[in-house]
Structure 1
Amino acid sequence: MTTPSRFRRAGVLFFATALSFSLAGCAAHSGTPAPGTTSRESTEVTSPQAADGRQISIVHALGTTKLDAPARTVVALDDSWADAVLMLHGTLVGYTETYTHGTELGAYLGDLPEEFGAGAAIVGTPREPDFDAIAALKPDLIVGAAETGGEHYQRLSEIAPTVLSEGAPTTWKSRYLVLGKALGAEGEASAMLGRYEEEARRIGGEINAGASDPTISVLRFQNGPTRIYAAGSFPGTVLTDAGLARPKSQRGNQDFIKVTAEQVADVDADRIFITTSPLGGERSMESFRATESWSDLEARTVPADDAAWTTSESLPGAYAILDELARAFHVDGPVVPEGLARYAGAVRNER
């Protein structure tokens, strides 16, 4: 039954839900980068540590990090990690200024920043963290992406235990399990991901039943080559979780495919979700609109939130994608964790 808000809420489940991930490990030495492992497809998660004095050991993209006890305070060096800390009810004491949200935490996070990140300080940018500011916060844990923070790993590790993950879109879920382990909340993380996957399957099933298994394209206009987001991208993983089909050219494991105005027919699908970068996106779109093929496709296009679909790589973004899919196909939107605001509308309103 369709609810008036179309974006129902439910409390976060605090019990373990069966959830299976293929998360490969790597050989690494404690506190030091492992040779040849600066790029990996996932972060290893082992079984939860009992509260018996044993260290919590996490193997990640640049080494093995050990914690003597579950972390309570965290500095996050990119948006997706900050989102994860707040979603798991960790205490966020510091985060970086980013292209997506500037110095503000995303409005889509609803009440979570006020409850679990009140007073959090800006600590530079993902590529240029402010080491003195981080040290002053005395965090129990520093988290971020190897691509942006890798060169600073040793210095960050001297301040606090540091976990830097591979940022491949297809492995975005692993950071929740890794962080859950570090916070002593691995069961909650597993349950949260399990609930999201249940919602994705439900929404995708209703869409497939009502629209006869439609195909979905995701097209981004930006300053530079226009992109079709394929199965290996972040939105591609959400569409896969929902069981929604892609055009044949978009089923590979690649993140995105560059496309020119002359190749506009390659984006053809039953629904084409269009995102537009705030930097040059509208200008790029004009060249596509000028083609003869565009008029045939335009009736099947759906405007979509750029930040949610292409840059969030987080549970709030995944829920936003599910919501926009549900709206486009007139099915019930997802049940989201308590405290999380509606992503797409909140992001649009804050710009």
Structure 2
Amino acid sequence: MKRAWVLLFVASLATTALGQTCQGRLIQHAMGETCVPKVAQRVVVLDTGELDSALALGVKPVGAVTAPGQPFQGYLLSLTEGIQSVGTIQQPNLEKILALKPDLILSNKLRHGQIYPQLSRIAPTVMAETVGVVWKENLLLVGEALGRSTQAKVLLAQYQRRVTQLRNRLGGRGHLPSVSMVRFVPGQIRLYCKANFIGTILADIGLPRPKSQDSDKFAEFISQERIADMDADYIFYAAYGDPNQTELNAVLNHPLWRRLSAVQRGRAIRVEDDHWYLGIGPLAASQVLDDLERFLLRTP
């Protein structure tokens, strides 16, 4: 009964009337045009990329979602204290969002386009089109919505400088090593290709991918019989959630895994899922670059 009342209340909230003068700033986004506050004070974010981007821009949301069964990303632990959970990415809790009295909601059409009308009646809502591969464009949109476009551009410039420096340092060693990306998700083994967050970072550096991942799509979904397709100069692998609920241990103990050249050379490295896959923002990208510098530039 309470939930039904809240939904009815949300549906009754007045939105900005067509033709009414915007007293803040007009933002163009995936769902149209929205009048946002000149300086938002109470921001709610509904995806991990928006959380990362807002924090990178110096704005601490009052509320945020998490990945199912997960806390806020570990690499953001020191920055997320006091942020209220408002459900999961798949199921934002409208009651909790409403109770926080936000003046701006940030999300994306891919995740929450269907509930945009309800969200926009709670507060001005700005949505990117999608996630992952467009994380840089999404950062710029978040920056615009928060009135921090200059800061967003500075973050991207800093990222690009680091990418260039790493590419030059690796190139000075004679060749750029190939990199394989493997993620274990309950019920799935994924070989990440180019159309995702980590794929953009590897492409920016110029790191080649093995044939199994050298395509402009999100991922290949494979079985253990295709472990050989994981091989490259380096293998970086991670597990989403509880690794015991995935095929991680089965693969690591498989004879085919032990035959991989990267494994035999000590170049199969487990990395943190939180920032390599879940983060999808500038803070996560910076952490990934830290890892790549440490692993790829260490003395052979």
Q: Alpha carbons of 1:237 and 1:295: their partners in 2 closer, same or farther (altered >3 Å)?
A: same
Which of 155, 171, 182 aligns to 1:219? It is: 182
The residue that corresponds to 1:203 in the other structure is 166
Residue equivalent to 1:46: none
8 Å Cα contact 2:176-2:206 kept in structure 1: no
Q: SS of the counterpart of 2:27?
A: strand
- Give the aligned partner of residue 95 of structure 2: 132
Deviates more, 1:311-320 or 1:90-99: 90-99
Task: Note the 1:26-65 alignment, pairs <5 A.
Answer: 55-65=24-34
Inter-partner Cα distance in structure 2 for 1:69 and 1:265: 54
- Take 1:265 and 1:156, find their aligned partners in 2: how far apart are those partners? 46
Residue identity over aligned pairs, in percent, reads 31
**SS of equivalent residue, structure 2 residue 144:** helix
**Deviation sequence 1:168-204 (CA, Å, 0-9, x none):** 3110112211111112110110011110121122113
Q: What amino acid is the match of 2:27?
A: I
Match of 2:4 in 1: none
Q: TM-score, normalised by structure 2?
A: 0.82
Q: Which residue is equivalent to 2:254?
A: 290
Hey, what does 1:141 align to over in structure 2?
104
1:9 corresponds to which residue?
none
Q: How does 1:91-170 map to 2 (within 5 A)?
A: 91-99=60-68, 101-102=70-71, 105-109=72-76, 111-113=78-80, 119-170=82-133
1:237: Cα distance to partner? 0.6
Q: Does the 8 Å contact 2:107/2:126 carry over to 1?
A: yes
Paired residue for 1:69, among 27, 31, 38? 38
8 Å CA contact 1:75–1:92 kept in 2: the answer is yes
Contact 2:166-2:293 at 8 Å conserved across structures: yes
Unaligned runs of 5+ residues in structure 1 are: 1-29, 33-52, 333-351
Counterpart of 2:110 in 1: which secondary structure? helix
What is the TM-score when the length of structure 1 is the normalising length?
A: 0.71
Give the equivalent residue in structure 1 for 2:295.
328
Calculate the aligned-residue CA RMSD, in Å.
Answer: 2.7
What's the counterpart of residue 154 of structure 2? 191
- Relative to structure 1, is the Cα distance of residues 178 and 152 closer, same or farther in structure 2, using a 3 angstrom cutoff? same
Q: What secondary structure, in the 3-state scheme, does the structure 1 residue paired with 2:38 have?
A: coil
Q: For residue 68 of structure 2, what is the amino acid of its counterpart?
A: Y
Q: Could you tell me how far apart the structure 1 residues matched to 2:292 and 2:235 are?
A: 11
Mark the CA change 1:149 to 1:292 in structure 2 (over 3 Å): closer, same or farther: closer
1:172 to 107, 119, 135: 135
Whole-angstrom distance in 1 between the partners of 2:257 and 2:52: 39
Deviation at 1:310, TM superposition (A): 1.9
Secondary structure of the residue that 1:228 maps to in structure 2? strand
Q: Given that residues 228 and 256 in structure 2 are in contact (C-alpha distance below 8 angstroms), is that contact kept between their aligned partners in structure 1?
A: no
